[in-house]
Structure 1
Amino acid sequence: MLKGMFTAPDPGRVRLRTSARAVLGVGSAVTVSHLATGSLPAAIAGGLAAMLALFTVGDATVRAQAVTTALLPLVGLPVLALAAGLHEHALPRDAAFLAVVFAGVHARRWGPRGQALGIFGFMTFFMAQFLRAVPQQLPELYTGMLLSLVAAGVVRFALWCIERRNPPAPVPAPLTARGLARPTTRQAFQNTVACALALGVGQLVSDQRWYWAVGTAWWIFVNTASRGETLVRGFRRVVGTLLGIVVGLLVAVPLHGAPVPSVVLVAACVFGIFYTAAPSYSWMMFFVTVMASLLYGLLGVLHPGLLVLRLEQTLVGAAAAGLALALVLPVTTHAATDAWIRRALVAVRQCTAASARRLAGDAQADPAPHVAELELLLVRVRVSLAPLLHPLSPLRARKARALEVMAHLDVCARQARGLAEVAADPEASHDARLTAACLRVEAALHALEPAACTDAPAAASGVAAPQHHPGAERALAHLHDLERALAALAAPLLSSPRAPLAGT
């Protein structure tokens, strides 16, 4: 696991630069908050707000990111006032927390901005429990949060701007889905039930630190789409938390909240959270747990029993998430994976059609966006297949099927990418053989997913040129390999998911 964290690909060193920027942004936010308020809780609140702003805001452009960051206080400040005002009233506080959970998950229907605002609202309520905020503290907490968001924004958008051009991740459900057919609505109910179970059992375990169980149940559902994905995420969270507690016992407890080493280690944890978030959820949770231990040390309440309690509450939250998945509107791994695969095949078809039109002389046809979408979809397919590929998975036939599907889809992506590169060559010209090859690819796609390929193929447009251009030869090679990969997908996709594949 450690080797994978350091060997995971980092094109353009984006993860490295984003992590270093996070340390600068959070460090600046904490410094400004502490200087302005002189309050440790306000500095911690400001640091967490800055970290959330840098971590959760993921819009496609810098302009959209700035707008979302500016909207965070409109959600966070009222939620913080609500949580502080209900601090001494357990039942209303719990009901309000669950309402924030439901609204925060349901907000994901509005894309990256809704996701960021929903997470910020939930974590603001969570933070109020962590700090035991009361109404008298609101002025300093407001000041700390607002100044921190400004400081983080200056770092992100003025001092060190790293623009993200990737479109938001697509969803498998049609945009016309309503009610419980909409993934965000279904997950809102699932997550609320999970958090309610975690809250109830967590309070039986500890009436002071119950919110850890709720936080675990909430975060397990983020960026998951199926029962299997969520269970694997819960397992990884428990593993990362356990490792973090071990280090907390060995490092944070002996420090006794010493300011300088604790602050240095918190900065290292912030870097680790951002650097490992994409490749390893377990390592991210490791750094989160170590950071929480150090913060409790700074607040003067850290002791070994508190870290053991954190593990117990993590187990409670993970178990609550598992029960909610099994009982409330469950979505199987097969159903979720199948939806992502079908969307990937649509992207292959669109890329092929656009490439063919481009080679036929249509300068407006551009396969590049479809290639980018295909790459994003394949990431989601891998995430969805992770439960079947997990070393502890007992489903050998389904694991073999998943490996074969992923291998063939990788070939499809590689050939689609190569075809798009050929089509981008201004010297490449149309060849009559391309029409037949594109139609064969279209037929192979129809055989795999007739419903997803209702449009007529655009491969036949243009006038065939008698010469055989080298660009056309390369395009034909990509199309032939793509056709073979699609044909090979028929066996694992169209047969029963539990039946063994031929030769296995």
Structure 2
Amino acid sequence: MKTAGQSVRARLRSGVAASDPGLLRLAAGLRTVGAIALTLAVLGLLGAGVRHLVAGAMAAMVATFAIREKQRAQQAVTLALGLPVALASVSLGALMSSRVVAGDLFFVALIFCAVYGRRFGDRGTALGLIGFQVYFLSLFVGAAVSGLPELYGVLGIAFASSALVRFVLVPETPAGLLERLREAFRARLAQLVSAQLDLLDAGPDELEKVLEDVRDGTARLHETALMIQGRLEEGTADEATARLVQRRVADAEIAAERLGLLLLTARSAERADTLTMHLPGAPVPAGRRLSARDEATAILRRDLQGLRLLVLRPVSQETGTGLSHVRNRLLGYRDEENVPAAPAAVQDAFRGIGEAARAVLGLRIALDGAQDESDDTPATTRSREELDAEDVAIDAGEDEDREEEPTGLRRPTTRAAVQVAVGSSLAIVGGEFLSSQRWYWAVLACWIVFINTASTGEILVKGYRRLVGTVFGVVAGIVLAGLVGQHTWTAFALMLVCVFAMFYTAPLSYTLMSFFVTAALGLLYTLMHTYSLSVLLLRVQETALGAACGVVAAAFVLPVRTDRRTNELLVTVLERLAEVTEAAVDQLSGGPPVDLLDQARDLDQALADLRAATQPLTHPITPLRARRDTARYVVALLETCAYHARSLAATAELLPTHPSIAADPRLRRAGRRIAHNIGAIAAYVADDQAAVEIETGRSIASLLEPDLPGTPRYGRVTDRVLRHLQRLDETVAGLARPLGVPVAAPKR
């Protein structure tokens, strides 16, 4: 019973870790709700009125969510600086409340400065956000000069409560956060293996749904790997440790994605295309369900279950020799004599399991430390020796290259500040016509649609989502206001629930976040005895007006068209792809070692930025269906290219430690066409008048034909390298059609 209970708790813990990597959403919600609850408790004991309670709750929320820095010391400094900024902002709000024109002009200037402050990093962003939100707070509660001393005390209590919750009650250290992200990576890797196991058994009618689960699992695993990458510098003791964890996470990610492709091929009548694993709706190869009675299939299913167990079970929970036996068996598939008799594609799947087991072993060593080696077989010992050799070869060098940043109005923060200032001015004028008391809601909506957006299309989509969430939130606010009546503390308790839900759902759905915000506001209006149906309907009107003003400002003031934005990011992705590919091919050809993993992660980050920027083009409501399909296809092709580039980079880094993988100078000739085609596509995207063409011709393998009779065809380069190069060459050439790049006639 004790063991069963531990198993249930472990599964529950893994499920939570996978759904919320690093528990970031849970911690943000608890931290914000804790700060608000503590502030309300202190103010309640002091006998504060409802308006001061509302002001304290809003100030505590702002002081908590505005801080985004990773190091605790930096967070403390920013929080300390935020208090005087908040005091100055509420003072100016009270002073300007009776001066309509001057107050409006000052509000616009404050908005410009708050957005412009983003150029100074996380601290500038936080202080600007605090300044804007506290000024908004002063308008919301009707701050007056005579009441400033009490408001100063409320703000002081709110900031102190936020600090106490952040640093004492719900603490977060970079090392602890990185540890939770590692657990999330384990959990998501295990979920991906489970989806791959379903892929093995799925019938023809179930294949598309199971494939979608595999795609989602792969994307979620990649997302967690990027999150770990962003926290390594702060969360590890030294750079060598950071690079070790980075390498092991990258190996596990690549091995897991390759295993899914091999399993799809094993159950198909033809080799599966990598694009199928990245593009929903892509043609699925003619499939066949593997016979459940077939011995090789039964072993494959058993070993996938063993791989999942190996992923989930940390070293501290190992008892007996059962898990060691599973590990040794899986690693044994790296030796040809241990691969079961089966069709070639199924044998490849066993080899893929062996490579995945090796990656998991490296991950376990990097995350859990040294392990008992007494039960190792020769295959396991060889894998450990390879991993140890790789650890020694890891170079802790840093890349000091920095890109030149734009200046003036070309700088994104300056441009956004001008756009928000213009949009807010329009929102103030329009908001005054709707309501002379609550015009500031339009300004808030305009401000919010500009946060974390960089193009007109992104602003339009965000404004639409905010409006939809607000409309449904108004309905919820009406229901909640009717339920709580004048019960003050019941209303505050429900507001805390809405605030937690707002922060927990924010990274998942902006519409849901807006829904909970509006529902919480309905409760605040009830507390302040200003609730009415007309007030909540006015909230919808002001939100629609603010969003519209933001879209107008983005479209006509220093606009960044969605096409221009996506083209710029597409060129960046292609440049990063060219860098990784050329460096990996050069190293595989005998060139000097370089920092391939960092280059691969730069490619991943550039691709993530492009994927986010194309959301307006791929949104379900877009009327341009052909354009939507093209954008999805291009992103899927680039994801396929990135997978093969990552795999080449990982293989190239094995050269110093693996005798089975050696340099072959002829690879430079094979990689030359790929580099040329990537450069040609990037030049054409940057300028569609550029006189460029991509080259096509013989396969990559044929380009490695020996120059002298009797010379081994491929030297000592593995077939896997050639397959990745071939797929990369085909996929890069495939980008030409959707992007309209001219294709040169094949040379004879």
Q: Report if TM-score (shorter chain) is over 0.5.
A: yes
CA contact (8 A) 1:358 1:366 kept: no
Alpha-carbon distance in structure 2 between the residues aligned to 1:74 and 1:81: 10
Conserved 8 A contact 1:155-1:161: no
Q: Is the 8 A contact 1:238 1:315 kept in 2?
A: yes
Q: Secondary structure at the match of 2:614?
A: helix
Alpha-carbon RMSD: 3.1
Whether 2:735 is the aligned partner of 1:489: answer: yes
- Choose from 81, 105, 109 the match for 1:99: 109
Tell me, yes or no, if the aligned pair for 1:253 and 1:304 is still in contact at 8 Å.
no
Question: Residues 55-66 of structure 1: matches in 2 within 5 Å?
Answer: 55-66=65-76
Moved more, 193-202 or 397-406: 397-406
Answering whether residue 438 of structure 2 is matched by residue 427 of structure 1, we say: no
Q: How does 1:209-358 map to 2 (within 5 A)?
A: 209-353=438-582, 355=584
Alignment pair present for 1:161 and 2:391: no
Match of 1:444 in 2: 677
Q: CA deviation at 1:136?
A: 2.5
Question: Structure 1 residue 388: deviation in Å?
Answer: 1.5
Cα distance in 2 for residues equivalent to 1:39 and 1:381 = 49
Q: Is the 8 A contact 1:42 1:145 kept in 2?
A: no
- Give 5+ residue unaligned stretches, structure 1: 1-5, 454-465, 497-504
Q: Secondary structure at the match of 2:735?
A: helix
**Residue 41 of structure 2 corresponds to residue 31 of structure 1:** yes
- 1:60/1:166 contact within 8 Å kept: no
The alpha-carbon distance between structure 1 residues 452 and 383, as it changes in their structure 2 partners (threshold 3 A), is: closer
How far did 1:404 drift?
Answer: 1.1
**Residue 147 (1) aligns with residue 157 (2):** yes
Mapping of residues 131-142 of structure 1, within 5 Å: 131-142=141-152
What is the CA–CA distance in structure 1 between the aligned matches of 2:47 and 2:662, rounded to whole Å?
69
Q: Mean alpha-carbon deviation: is it higher for 316-325 or for 233-242?
A: 316-325
Counterpart pick for 1:366 among 592, 595, 598: 595
Aligned residue type for 2:739: L
Which residues of structure 2 form unaligned runs of 5+? 1-15, 178-227, 232-401, 687-713, 743-748
Separation in 2 of the partners of 1:112 and 1:475?
42
Alpha-carbon shift at residue 258 of structure 1 (Å): 1.6
Offset, 1:155: 2.6
The answer to whether the 8 Å contact 2:590/2:663 transfers is no
CA distance in 1, matches of 2:522, 2:596: 49
Shift of residue 374, structure 1, vs aligned partner: 3.3
Cα pair 1:217 1:320 within 8 Å, conserved: yes
- Does the Cα contact within 8 Å between 1:216 and 1:318 map onto a contact in 2? yes
Measured in 2, the distance between the counterparts of 1:485 and 1:37 equals 68
Q: CA deviation at 1:334?
A: 0.2
Q: Separation in 2 of the partners of 1:287 and 1:445?
A: 45
Aligned: 1:72 with 2:85: no
CA distance in 2, matches of 1:364, 1:265: 58
Closer, same or farther: CA 481–54 of 1 in aligned 2, 3 Å: farther
Deviation for aligned residue 1:103:
0.8
Per-residue CA shift, 1:361-393, capped at 9, x if unaligned? Answer: 999733333343333333322222122112221
Distance 1:478 1:154 in 2: 53
The answer to whether 1:396 aligns with 2:625 is yes
Distance in 2, Cα, partners of 1:23 & 1:9: 21
**Residues 424-449 of structure 1 deviation map (CA, whole Å, 9 limit, x = unaligned):** 55634542155445544432321222
- The 3 A distance-change label for structure 1 pair 136 and 13 is same
Q: Which residue of 1 aligns with 2:25?
A: 15
Which residue in 1 is equivalent to 2:716? 468
Correspondence list, 1:403-414, <5 A: 403-414=632-643
SS at match of 1:449: helix
Q: What does residue 188 of structure 1 align with?
A: 417
Counterparts of 1:19 and 1:63 in 2: how far apart (Å)? 21
Give, in whole Å, the separation in 2 of the partners of 1:182 and 1:135. 38
**Paired residues, what number?**
473
* Secondary structure in 2 matching 1:155: helix
Structure 2 residue 363 is the aligned partner of structure 1 residue 115: no
Q: Which amino acid in the other structure matches residue 481 of structure 1?
A: R
Contact 1:33 1:148 in 2 (8 A): no
- Partner amino acid, structure 1, of 2:663: D
Q: Provide the C-alpha distance between the structure 2 equivalents of 1:368 and 1:29, rounded to a whole number of angstroms.
A: 46
Distance 1:12 1:437 in 2: 42
What is the CA deviation profile of residues 316-368 of structure 1, one whole-angstrom value per residue up to 9, with x for unaligned ones?
11221222223212221100111122222233334345555776899973333
The offset of 1:60, in angstroms, is: 4.6
In the alignment, the residues of structure 2 paired with residue 100 and residue 225 of structure 1 have an alpha-carbon distance, to the nearest angstrom, of 21
Larger Rg: 2
Amino acid at match of 1:431: A
In 1: Cα distance, 2:41 partner to 2:725 partner: 57
Provide the TM-score with structure 2 as the length reference: 0.58
Q: Is the 8 A contact 1:34 1:144 kept in 2?
A: no
Of 191-200 and 258-267, more deviation after overlay is shown by 258-267
The one-letter code matched in structure 2 to 1:449 is: A
Identity across matched positions, percent: 37
Distance 1:63 1:359 in 2: 44
Between 228-237 and 367-376, report the one with greater CA deviation: 367-376
Looking at structure 1, the residues matched to 63 and 597 of structure 2 have their Cα atoms a distance apart, in angstroms, of 31
Distance (whole Å) between structure 1 residues aligned to residue 595 and residue 167 of structure 2:
31
Aligned counterpart, 2:386: none
> How far apart are the structure 1 equivalents of 2:452 and 2:647?
30
What code does the residue aligned with 1:468 have? R
- Compute the TM-score of the two structures, normalised by the length of structure 1: 0.84
Q: Which has the higher contact order (CA 8 A, sep 6+)?
A: 1
Aligned to 2:59: 49
Give distance in 1, aligned partners of 2:668 and 2:419.
Answer: 48
Asked whether the 8 Å contact 2:574–2:678 carries over to 1, the reply is yes
The alpha carbon displacement at 1:125 in A equals 1.1
| Letter paired with 2:34 | L
Is contact 2:52–2:151 with CA below 8 Å preserved after alignment?
Answer: yes
Q: Which residue in the other structure is 2:285 paired with?
A: none
